[in-house]
Structure 1
């Protein structure tokens, strides 16, 4: 579904992604792992063309996305959930969801507000609350739900477990598993190895903007030197 090849991305003169490449198959949940500053967020932004790679390709279903404006990337079927959430704080939960509504997309799950309330019961209970009155975890859920209203084929999640209460982290894991069961493909960036192992099919580890590991969690567990070198604090 997605092929990232030879990507070099920069912030001004700072070289962040260095010849990065990997593939995502349809229906997979893949965890992009690494320490703070490893390049995980830049990878997601480079896929969405919020950061335009200077070299390399990002091919989604046969279409090279490099250089397209982000709204056209979204129209190809990609949905992006940033770490900083960016909900509309003065709109209600339901109004935030309606802002994200897009037409049905052939081959992608189609989401309604009622379906999302079934997956996110916390949001259903607060459907008339304004965004600014939600907890951090509820705001994270709302951002994911709003993105799903665009009916993406591939969902990019930036640090979905970061800064939320442990009970909400478990709900988030259940949500990602539910999305996978609906046929959605997910690429999520994470520092929490336990969370990633609970939801993802395989792991990609990056450090210094380069891929250091790509494989199953079973394979990762058999290479503790990789885990210790690139994931330990």
Structure 2
């Protein structure tokens, strides 16, 4: 098992956000966490990374219990995280941003070079010497993902990768995620865009109020429209 969450309960102060949340992800799988804004998707990502430490329950990554470990140690074990806020270094060039993320080759994980990433994200290749502040929102999102891949993770967490970017960039993003799968990278995506999630993911987990409401393929979800309408409709 690549990732396993068991009965996770996470809080912000006294606010109980995740309620006994459990799910697992197989190696090489692309899983989409779906739910409305505020459902608990980002908190799930941060709880996996231990940026929000669960008060109870466990997170296991590649068979190892990482619950309570510092986030930087979790990252060094091969868990990559791309936050919705992007957080690139705007005063550095694209190439310099990528170098910040560089880590050694990791056993059992895809190995990424700058050339491979520029092939994956041609927009970045054309502007490799441009400063981060000169990039569009979509290009900044691509750069954040590429910088994370320079750490050669076994699993990457993508928080709302299609949010607030142009449709043409969304299409490129979807194509890139499918390429990740070809390389054997395990991916967990947090999304509100059902169409985007269906295009890239093998399976979806629907979260509402910090609890799991559905776990299955999109084919099964299509046969249960009442679930889709109850938890995903605006």
Q: TM-score range by the shorter chain?
A: over 0.9
Give the 3-state SS of the residue equivalent to 1:57 in structure 2: strand
Aligned length: 233
> For residue 142 of structure 2, what is the aligned residue in structure 1?
141
Q: Is residue 39 from structure 1 mapped to residue 45 from structure 2 by the alignment?
A: no
Separation in 2, partners of 1:207, 1:111: 35
> For residue 29 of structure 2, what is the aligned residue in structure 1?
28
Structure 1 position 76, deviation (Å): 1.3
Q: Is residue 189 from structure 1 mapped to residue 190 from structure 2 by the alignment?
A: yes
> For residue 229 of structure 2, what is the aligned residue in structure 1?
228
Separation in 2, partners of 1:119, 1:111: 10
Q: Is residue 151 from structure 1 mapped to residue 152 from structure 2 by the alignment?
A: yes
Q: Deviations over 1:82-125 (max 9, x none)?
A: 00000000000000000000011000001000100000000000
Separation in 1, partners of 2:92, 2:43: 29
Q: Map 1:153-232 onto structure 2 (within 5 A).
A: 153-232=154-233
Q: Which runs of 4+ in 1 moved over 6 A?
A: none
Give the 3-state SS of the residue equivalent to 1:19 in structure 2: strand
Structure 1 position 203, deviation (Å): 0.3
Structure 1 position 28, deviation (Å): 0.2
Q: Deviations over 1:123-170 (max 9, x none)?
A: 000000000000000000000000000000000000000000000000
CA RMSD, Structure 1 to Structure 2 (Å) = 0.4
Separation in 1, partners of 2:182, 2:27: 12
User: Unmatched 5+ residue regions in structure 1?
Assistant: none
Give the 3-state SS of the residue equivalent to 2:146 in structure 1: helix
Separation in 1, partners of 2:127, 2:231: 40
Separation in 2, partners of 1:67, 1:30: 24
- TM-score scaled by structure 1? 1.00
Structure 1 position 62, deviation (Å): 1.4
Q: Deviations over 1:25-79 (max 9, x none)?
A: 0000000000000000000000000000000000011111111000110111100
Q: Map 1:84-123 onto structure 2 (within 5 A).
A: 84-123=85-124
